[in-house]
Structure 1
């Protein structure tokens, strides 16, 4: 397995604390990831808070919380909370042997390389030519004038990526369902894939389903779909509504992916991710057989391990690699602290125009302990799961985030407007941009 880089940049403990605090604030205010189009005459103000937001939240008239519902939703609460007692599920995943490894061995490490400026071949599409572009990711539309972020090509060491070809990709997808499953970063990769593919399909032969937990782009002549399913924590949670998930507490069923698996199990090619939503702090666990509404509480790293194991059990028991391809995308890094790549500065990704040229650079936006948890779980599934290790190559791209050049949803105060870095989105990625390269890597891996 492609291992994570071990090089780290060091900074004071106080900076780490504030980094976690800011990221927690961002995630707490996340609302919706599902909407792609907005009405042209809909007036939506902007906000410095909702970095993971795409549409304003819907208002529900149901204000009464409920305890331990059969299926979790945003009104589910815990009757009480106690310390995690160490419970785990002894199922298929734990019985797999490490010798169950297989799959095609690549002659070249596609994930190790450098970024090369190439304004001849890149970008692979024009932002304004993709009718499915998200206003959250359309940086040029929202005022960004330095467009060099669109012109960087990923160059692996000692080999080349196969050139992107939309028609060839559609042939790989003919008669198949390609589904991205995860959070807003995986949704960004899905939008990138749709933008990369849609131009070769006649307008009357393509369609996009209404926005929902499962959103589907369909190409009739290939009898193929490219889909996105909102499941930010992989297991069932109270954050599974793609619109309403602004919550004080994250509550998960650590032993159950059944609700989500019923949506993704019939896809032919699956692209999973999970990461950011585990960095908010402690997570509450409500086990499937718990009838009294009593939750346990566990730190984010422990909770993501339980969730990954539940996901891995589904993969181990349900995935036939001869019929279904499964990929897991590693962490997408954030760039919240410029002092990590430029000492003695106090900014973030705002006004960054070039990649980091320090090979092996590693910032605090990529959390090694969490990555090791994912590594440990996925390592047992190597005969069934392939890794798309986008972390190191994305670490270099401090210039690729929307920063202030995206649509927000609430008005900014004069104080905020005077300090653009305070509301910069250094989590998501402009399109065209970095996620297109993730999809080129996927194209080369199919």
Structure 2
């Protein structure tokens, strides 16, 4: 986990169609059809009865053609509202039925296809589902309100996707979806942060029971909770690189990563997992030496060592590729026996250097036009999404795999970090010269609750798809 005590963190900071209606063509087609019909009747006098009915027939045809396109027309009716999301569904429904889809059907289609990751933060007076006193699983460093934070406006924002509404978290629905299942959060302290948020929201419906905890220092590195009423298990596996790694120590300031071997500390339990949520990235910004096979590939920020400086982008890609391949190889043969979510990289918001009074003093989200996702944040996100898509193609429906793309919506929330309130009452002694800040992790409750709201919608969509296939 990155903390302000990490003397090497400064190395990271330095490395850082519109549809056209063609009304004229459609009208010409209709006129051609009508004239062809008139010529047909003029050729044969035996159709006198039908000729007498012709005017009425033409009135009906013209009325219908005005409101609905002819079956062979490739263009939708310009008089009906049509969004880009339901174009395909709308056209196919017209070919199968004379009536257009209902508003409820269109709304259902939009919700199913919604891009939850493209939107903006909007004002919301309802506030979070829980608070600092109703949840007993908040890590001390994230409990901003208890630690004295008084500017609580950061709790009054909701993420609003452009194409739809993101429903509020439904703890009962989530618990039903994981009934008799095991959900594992694997990764670094951001995985733990998201897990803590989920436990707090689920606790509003059912109290989680801690059944296992393996602490290293102050941190719960391997923990497991159970929801007895649902026989559901939620666990945490500390693995900041996902692959095998040896963390730096007082005698060796460099991490050692073995990029071709998944971390067996969590992977050996893969057989009992039903959903894996992977979250990693920040530890790759710390000085490290990289191994693959029997060779040293190079290093990141390792002055004094005789290794080639190769940065961390390609290393991040290799680590995620090894991890996803291991999951596909070990669990893919069992069909849909496991689901995988990769939570994308979440940016920090230090203003100034982290160890020289760097802080995150913003009290409101950024507007979309204020900040553009670029540089390291954009590159980390791009790598993770590309590797997820490549793994999906190789898995060939043997398992379900998606990216929980929270990079942008996290990037727009500089106000949601603990800041100085990572410690209790940081200003109790007056105006001190230097107060340690955490501008990496997220207050609980806070913006990270949105990660789990989107996670639930992804799980609901998976369940709907499974029912439709059956």
Measured against the shorter chain, the TM-score band is: 0.5 to 0.7
Question: How far did 1:388 drift?
Answer: 0.4
Question: What's the offset of the Cα at 1:211?
Answer: 3.4
1:389 and 1:360 mapped to 2: Cα distance? 20
Structure 2 residue aligned with 1:64: none
Match of 2:452 among 421, 439, 442: 439
TM superposition shift of 1:151: 2.0
Alignment-derived partner of residue 310 in structure 1:
322
**For residue 222 of structure 1, what is the aligned residue in structure 2?**
230
The answer on whether the counterparts of 2:239 and 2:263 sit within 8 Å (CA) in structure 1 is: no
Q: Distance in 2 between matches of 1:111 and 1:353?
A: 22
SS in 2 for 1:128: coil
Within the alignment, does 1:399 sit opposite 2:415 as a pair?
yes
Query: 1:237 aligns to what SS in structure 2?
Result: strand
Query: In the alignment, is residue 337 of structure 1 matched against residue 340 of structure 2?
Result: no
Kept in 2: contact 1:29–1:246 (CA 8 A):
no
Q: Partner of 1:199: helix, strand, or coil?
A: coil
Distance 2:235 2:154 in 1: 26
- The number of equivalent residue pairs is 332
Alignment of 1:7-86 (within 5 A): 27-28=6-7
1:198 offset after TM fit, Å? 1.7
Contact 1:284 1:295 in 2 (8 A): no
2:388 pairs, out of 378, 381, 384, with 378
- Return the structure number with greater helix share: 2
CA shift for structure 1 position 434: 1.2
Deviation by residue 1:265-317 (Cα, 9 ceiling, x = unmatched): 42101100111111124x312445579xx996642122212212211221331
Distance 1:299 1:415, change over 3 A: farther
How far is 1:188 from its partner? 0.3
> Which whole-Å CA distance do the structure 1 matches of 2:185 and 2:3 have between them?
25
Matched, 1:417 2:420: no
How is 1:156-171 mapped onto 2 (pairs within 5 angstroms)? 156-171=161-176
Q: Which residue of 1 is the match for residue 75 of structure 2?
A: none
> Larger C-alpha radius of gyration, 1 or 2?
2
SS in 2 for 1:191: helix
What secondary structure sits across from 2:365 in the alignment? coil
**1:402–1:425 CA contact under 8 A, matched in 2:** yes
Shift of 1:351: 3.0
Contact 1:149 1:400 in 2 (8 A): yes
Question: What CA distance in whole angstroms lies between the structure 2 residues aligned with 1:215 and 1:245?
Answer: 26
Conserved 8 A contact 2:3-2:438: no
Q: Check the 8 A contact 2:182/2:234 in 1, yes or no.
A: yes
Paired residue for 2:69?
A: none
Runs of 4+ in 1 over 6 A off after TM superposition: none
Q: Which residue of 1 aligns with 2:262?
A: 257
Label 1:208 to 1:431 Cα distance change in 2 as closer, same or farther (>3 A): farther
User: Distance in 2 between the 1:29 and 1:347 partners?
Assistant: 16
Correspondence for 2:187: 182
> For residue 340 of structure 2, what is the aligned residue in structure 1?
326
When normalised by structure 1's length, the TM-score is: 0.67
Q: Secondary structure at the match of 1:439?
A: helix
**CA offsets, 1:374-430, max 9 Å, x none?**
23322212354201000101111010000000238xx99x9993244xx22111110
Match for residue 207 of structure 1 among 191, 205, 210: 210
Contact 2:121 2:157 in 1 (8 A): yes
Instruction: Give CA-to-partner distance per residue, 1:39-91, whole Å, 9 cap, x none.
Output: xxxxxxxxxxxxxxxxxxxxxxxxxxxxxxxxxxxxxxxxxxxxxxxxxxxxx
User: Distance between the aligned counterparts of 1:164 and 1:295, measured in 2?
Assistant: 51
Structure 1 gaps of 5+ residues are 1-22, 31-104, 340-345
Aligned to 1:112: 118
| 2:281 equivalent in structure 1 | 275
CA distance in 2, matches of 1:246, 1:445: 44
Report what 1:99 is aligned to. Answer: none
Q: CA deviation at 1:164?
A: 1.2
Cα distance in 1 for residues equivalent to 2:407 and 2:387: 17
CA contact (8 A) 1:336 1:365 kept: no
Q: CA deviation at 1:129?
A: 1.2
Q: What is the RMSD of the two structures over their aligned residues, measured on CA atoms?
A: 3.4
Distance 1:199 1:246 in 2: 45
